[in-house]
Amino acid sequence: MLVSFPHMGNCWPAFKCLCESCGAEVFLPQTNNTKQLEIGLKHSPEWVCFPFKVTLSNFFEALEHGVDAIAMATDCGPCRFGFYYAVQQKILEDLGFEFEMLHLPQGDLLTFEWADFLKNMAKKCGNTLHNSDIVKIAQKYLCKAQLIQECEKLEGLTRCYEVNKGDTTRTLKKMIPLIDQANKMSELRNVRRRISREFAAIETRPHNGNALRVGLTGEIQVTLDPFVNHDIKRKLGELGCEVHMDLSLYDWMKHKFHLNFHRKYIEYLSKTHKDIGGIQMDIGGEAFWVLGEYINWAQKGFNGFVHIYPFTCMPEITAKSIITKWYGDGRFDLPPAFFGFDEHAGEAGLVTRLEAYVELLKQKKERKQHGNGSK
Ligand code: SF4
């Protein structure tokens, strides 16, 4: 059985490993790009959120290459993501494609519905998975997701110090396929060591405290896919920002397994700011945790906070309004910048806004260093 899945930034080695471990052959959609997006835009409702359009484009490409099934996560959350797979399936079937939509419930991974999903996929491929196989698959998948996270963290922390522009990007691009190729736990351990070595080998300027510490967060698909967010992380790094990002596929998985203590902490921060208008529960997207991250990074003395989201994303826009008010009221001394992305988002406007924002952060930092930290 030929299977495909959405392309989301660097996450593909983990998704691929999941399908291949069930015995499926994988069709990997190309890296998201403007040309490919056209078909998703043409067949999506205009008002729908941007990640829907991007993933629909991936599915088109896969179906045109003859895939038998599409694996797509779904959630029971309060926003539109829970309906993506069903609406996408209907659109694609109406267009005449014959395929199976294998939806993976990820609302709460401790219900172990994902284990049935894997067994079902394996069965369709003529294989039988025992519980011990499921444990091994999950272990390998999580290990790959963790290594991807490690690369993405090191990328954000290294780029602003690199001596030769592009070294960090080149190292990242070299490491992701290695994660894909490693299929035994011993090989993955070697890749982990290789990642540390390769990033440490990048020639860097001394870390003299001049770089701006900026937190980057937002809706998961936009935050993890460099095409969708116009590679904002790279741009911030090249403008001299040390980019801190806790959001990753691994972070999300740990959260869904109820093992993410960082998320528990930022949930606690959101909830303890109830009196000034924090969100008390998951309202969809990453809004609940975005607020917690903002408070967390403000308390750690970060210089900037960049929040990115799909243009019409209701949960993230709610978080944006709350953070804007907090900063305006002087509750936290962390200047936020907000960027909404969809098919109309332009590169030039983004660069101009980022340059202006980083310049303001630099001036604010200098004023603070000279004893005048006012806005
Ligand atoms: S989080 Fe936002 S972009 Fe994602 S499905 Fe929900 S509303 Fe749409």
**Cα 149 to ligand 1 centroid, rounded to whole Å:** 22
**Cα 255 to ligand 1 centroid, rounded to whole Å:** 18
Instruction: Kindly indicate the confidence band of residue 375, based on its pLDDT and cuts at 50, 70 and 90.
Output: low
Using a 6 Å cutoff on CB, does residue 75 contact ligand 1? no
Same domain, 285 and 300: yes
Same domain, 198 and 234: no
Closest atom of ligand 1 to CA, residue 50: 3
Question: Looking at the 3D structure of the chain, how many domains does it have?
Answer: 3
Same domain, 200 and 228: no
Taking a C-beta distance cutoff of 8 angstroms, is the pair 223, 253 a contact?
A: no
Using a 6 Å cutoff on CB, does residue 9 contact ligand 1? no
Q: Is the pLDDT of residue 30 over 70?
A: yes
Last residue of a domain, one of 194, 210, 226: 210
CATH number where 225 lies: 3.40.50.11900
Closest atom of ligand 1 to CA, residue 314: 7
Same domain, 19 and 97: yes
Compute the radius of gyration of the chain from its Cα atoms.
21
**Residue whose CB lies within 8 A of the most ligand 1 atoms, among 52, 54, 79, for a mutation test:** 79
- What pLDDT does residue 374 have? 52
Residue nearest to atom 7 of ligand 1 (CA): 313
CA neighbor of 260 nearest in space, from 227, 222, 286, 278: 286
The two tokens of residue 343 are: 């098919």
Opening angle at CA 245, ends 244 and 247, nearest 5: 165
**Residue whose CB lies within 8 A of the most ligand 1 atoms, among 219, 225, 342, for a mutation test:** 219
SS3 content of the chain, % helix, strand, coil (to 5): 55, 10, 30
The residue ranges of DSSP E strands in the chain, in sequence order, are 2-4, 25-26, 69-74, 100-105, 212-218, 241-244, 304-310, 336-341
Cβ atoms < 10 Å from Cβ of 51: 23
Q: Is the pLDDT of residue 97 over 80?
A: yes
Cβ atoms < 10 Å from Cβ of 5: 27
CATH number where 41 lies: 3.40.50
- pTM score over 0.85: yes
Same domain, 179 and 32: no
Last residue of a domain, one of 87, 106, 129: 129
Taking a C-beta distance cutoff of 8 angstroms, is the pair 10, 224 a contact?
A: yes
Return d(Cα 40, Cα 220) in angstroms, integer.
Answer: 19
87-101 b/e (C-beta count within 10 Å ≥ 16 → b):
ebbebbeeeebebeb
**Cα 111 to ligand 1 centroid, rounded to whole Å:** 23
Same domain, 149 and 252: no
127-169: per-residue pLDDT in tens? 999 999 999 999 999 999 999 999 999 999 999 999 999 999 9
pLDDT (average), residues 182-190: 96
Same domain, 81 and 225: no
Using a 6 Å cutoff on CB, does residue 51 contact ligand 1? yes
Can you count the helices (H) and strands (E) in the chain? 15, 8
What secondary structure letter does DSSP report for 186? H
- What pLDDT does residue 373 have? 54
- What pLDDT does residue 208 have? 80
Same domain, 221 and 199: no
Closest atom of ligand 1 to CA, residue 48: 8
Taking a C-beta distance cutoff of 8 angstroms, is the pair 32, 59 a contact?
A: no
**Cα 320 to ligand 1 centroid, rounded to whole Å:** 14
Same domain, 268 and 359: yes
Taking a C-beta distance cutoff of 8 angstroms, is the pair 306, 236 a contact?
A: yes
The two tokens of residue 321 are: 């309004």
Owning domain of residue 307: 211-375
Using a 6 Å cutoff on CB, does residue 81 contact ligand 1? yes
Same domain, 265 and 176: no
**Cα 200 to ligand 1 centroid, rounded to whole Å:** 36
Residue nearest to atom 2 of ligand 1 (CA): 313
270-294: per-residue pLDDT in tens? 999 888 988 888 888 899 999 999 9
Residue nearest to atom 5 of ligand 1 (CA): 81
Same domain, 272 and 188: no
239-274: per-residue pLDDT in tens? 999 999 999 999 999 999 999 999 999 999 999 988
Closest atom of ligand 1 to CA, residue 286: 1
Last residue of a domain, one of 111, 129, 147: 129
Closest atom of ligand 1 to CA, residue 81: 5
Average pLDDT, the chain: 94
- What pLDDT does residue 207 have? 85
Same domain, 153 and 119: no
Using a 6 Å cutoff on CB, does residue 13 contact ligand 1? no
